[in-house]
Structure 1
């Protein structure tokens, strides 16, 4: 049993991040492009969510509580659709960095 007069020692905390893939596990260009598009979609969804929250809803034309519950899902879908249709050019920049980090040109 521990002595209550002694200070507690810090406990090692497990890493919450998964380990990075080994250098031999390089991802394909198609995988990286899909990940970059997905990242852009998430980013655009967050922007859409903030924009939707900033618009005042009139009681006559809004959907009430039901609409409020699903507004976040709608923002996510708007973001993913925008990214699928070309987005704002973020995916190519992210893809370029991903390739550079893997040692490509």
Structure 2
């Protein structure tokens, strides 16, 4: 049986989990990309003859949203990383947080 050494207690505050900030950054990038895809005409009908109406527009919106989310998951355009770094810079340091 091998015994794992016990890690010494850290002298500083615990490291913050930034997963929430990263997720929010990716959601913002996905929303931006969905709007860009909408304005680029992605998901809109090719002709105005007998389209699917309001239902088609709603489902096209869902498709654009999903495409944007997948683009973001695969690296996106780098906007999520910029947003993440900006949010991280605005986060108070442990010394600034009230106790």
TM norm. shorter chain > 0.5: yes
Q: How far does residue 53 in structure 1 lie from its aligned partner after superposition?
A: 6.1
1:48 and 2:37 matched: yes
Structure 2: tracts of 5 or more residues without a match: 1-15, 94-99
Deviation at 1:83, TM superposition (A): 0.4
RMSD over equivalenced CA pairs, Å: 2.7
Query: Which of 27, 32, 48 lines up with 1:38 in the alignment?
Result: 27
**Structure 2-normalised TM-score?**
0.63
Residue-pair matches, total: 76
Partner of 1:64: 51
Asked whether the equivalents of residues 43 and 64 of structure 2 are also in contact (C-alpha less than 8 Å), the reply is no
Distance 1:55 1:71 in 2: 7
